[in-house]
Amino acid sequence: MSYIDGFVIAVPTANKQAFIDHALNADGVFADLGALRVVECWGDDVPDGKITDFARAVQATAEETVVLSWVEWPDKATRDAAQKTMMGWMENPETADPRWDNERHPMPFDGARMIFGGFAPLVDLRPGEATG
């Protein structure tokens, strides 16, 4: 079964195009490393909650937009191997994949406020497709 990496970030609204450019680079690397699908979603209807919400979770300001993204991998092993290439950049930049270089491809958002994690799907409903 597939494996999902999920991300929530706050992107300065003025940096929307820079975010798209950054995402196209990173998403291309994910695809090269075996991702089946990458989805980047610009917040459009993200309400304030009474107790918590997406904006509070990433400490978004009024000048930022919440972005929800996910990467679908064929399995956790493929995801783990891809993640090693990202971590490799921090551990040994001389031998790491240069496409992860934040100096060449700076993040147009504060990565310290990113929420991320890996998830094993429990239910995957695809109306119209046969299930087994």
Quick check: is 56 in a domain? yes
Identify the domain containing residue 8 by its residue range.
Answer: 3-119
Take residue 127 and report the two structure tokens written for it: 């109306």
Quick check: is 126 in a domain? no
Quick check: is 51 in a domain? yes
Closest CA to 9 of 35, 36, 46, 49: 46
The model's pTM is 0.87
Quick check: is 130 in a domain? no
Residues 6+ apart with CB under 8 A from 12: 63, 64, 65, 108, 109
What is the number of structural domains in the chain? 1
CATH code: domain of residue 23: 3.30.70.100
- Could you read off the pLDDT of 70-122 as tens digits, one per residue? 999 999 999 999 988 876 666 776 666 777 767 777 888 998 999 999 999 99
Quick check: is 42 in a domain? yes
